[in-house]
Amino acid sequence: MNYNKKTIYDVDVKGKKVLLRCDFNVPQNKETGEITSDKRIVAAIPTIKYLLENGAAVISCSHLGKPKGEWKTKLTLAPVAERLSQLLGQEVIFASDIIGEDAQAKAAALQPGQIMLLENLRFDIREEKNGADFAKALADMADLFVSDAFGTVHRAHASTAGVAAYLPAYSGLLVNKELSIMGKALDDPKRPFVAVLGGAKVSDKINVINNLLEKADTIIIGGGMAYTFKKAQGYEIGTSLLEADRLDYAKEMVEKAAAKGVKFLLPVDNLCAAEFSAEAEPVLVEGNIPENLMGMDIGPKTVELFAEAVKGAGTIVWNGPMGVFEFDKFAGGTKAMAKALAESGAVTIVGGGDSAAAVEKLGFADKITHISTGGGASLEFLEGKELPGVACLLDK
């Protein structure tokens, strides 16, 4: 897949109406609707400012939550328009519909240097179905399309891919950053290239491991998925997470790594517990895990082994926590990994979702080269999959 896409710097936006897909899917207080983190809104500001300062009229759009084609008052983007107005220091005109009379009238009247926001795209069932008529109606309001919502580029929706059939499509600054950093890490990494993979399930990471075996020098496996690998190697894993239908695959991956000369590291000790609970007492176990215990985190010897493996790395990609990091007693492995990445001196990339949350929660975010803004998107990126919302953009 070609990651070298035209950006907003490659087009004259003066006097143009720009349909800008943002990721304003922000967390909100369920009772009050108040935005609890505006990080995603803040992340869109550089692209918006560039467009406005260079004479474009911006028609921004996003989804929020999962309304499944129904108009749900709780999922309106009105609070986002308000917050965006504050951040930009100018009015964000809000349309009470998506492609209806209000949106069309406001888009038609929009002047250069002005910005508007359409109502929640997913209030219309055709958004997620990539309905051609819906995509065309969105496109008809603008002269060009800019994609700046990396968190949704793995979806072939009307606003992420469909509109590109009707408008020239460019990448925004956020998407461009993701593509250049992650694309380079996969296509031309500074070596040694170390991949650190965690999280609960092997099945979620099958294609990632497969793809990275072709590229990485070392693969480190932690988290719940490590126990399926340990079981495949003949170890007892007690009541730890196990995907029995993936045992053959796990075995095959270890053999494939050996054949390719890729180091494949698994935990050598674990912090275990008798039950899956934040209050459970940690029990340190080396080798076989007793039948009444489950693995909850990597142990100190494993921490040392993994930290040593990332020490001399040129590029490190990390996706998925090392243990049940949301329980303080079992967050040590994930914390140690974040610290090892922060101190490695390598180009460090943390794929979205839980690992990004962990790095931020643990206070290492400013020491990481790049934290991806997309969970599912960064995972599919690591799998080497074609991302519909990227494939539709103009090549450089």
- List CB contacts of 53: < 8 A, sequence separation 6 or more: 113
Helices marked H in 193-286: 202-212, 226-232, 247-260
Euclidean distance between the first and the last CA atom of the chain, given in angstroms as a whole number: 13
Q: Which two structure tokens, joined as six digits, stand for 322?
A: 């090392």
Q: Which two structure tokens, joined as six digits, stand for 357?
A: 């949350």
Number of alpha carbons in the 13 Å side-chain half-sphere of residue 380: 17
Distance CA 295, CA 331 (A): 13
Give which of 52, 78, 59, 77 is closest to 20, Cα–Cα.
59
Known catalytic membership, residue 389: no
Q: Indicate which residue of 6, 136, 184, 201 is catalytic.
A: 201
Q: Indicate which residue of 69, 100, 131, 376 is catalytic.
A: 376
Known catalytic membership, residue 21: no
Give the number of residues written for the chain. 396
Distance CA 60, CA 19 (A): 6
Distance CA 264, CA 294 (A): 23
> Is 373:350 a contact under the CB 8 Å cutoff?
no
Q: Indicate which residue of 223, 352, 353, 374 is catalytic.
A: 353
Q: Indicate which residue of 5, 16, 17, 40 is catalytic.
A: 40
Known catalytic membership, residue 40: yes
> Is 358:321 a contact under the CB 8 Å cutoff?
yes
| Bridge partners, 265 (sequence order) | 220
Angle between helical axes of 173-187 and 375-382 (0-180°, round to 10): 30
Distance CA 214, CA 64 (A): 37
Known catalytic membership, residue 126: no
Give which of 147, 181, 180 is closest to 390, Cα–Cα.
147
* Residues with active-site annotation: 40, 201, 353, 376
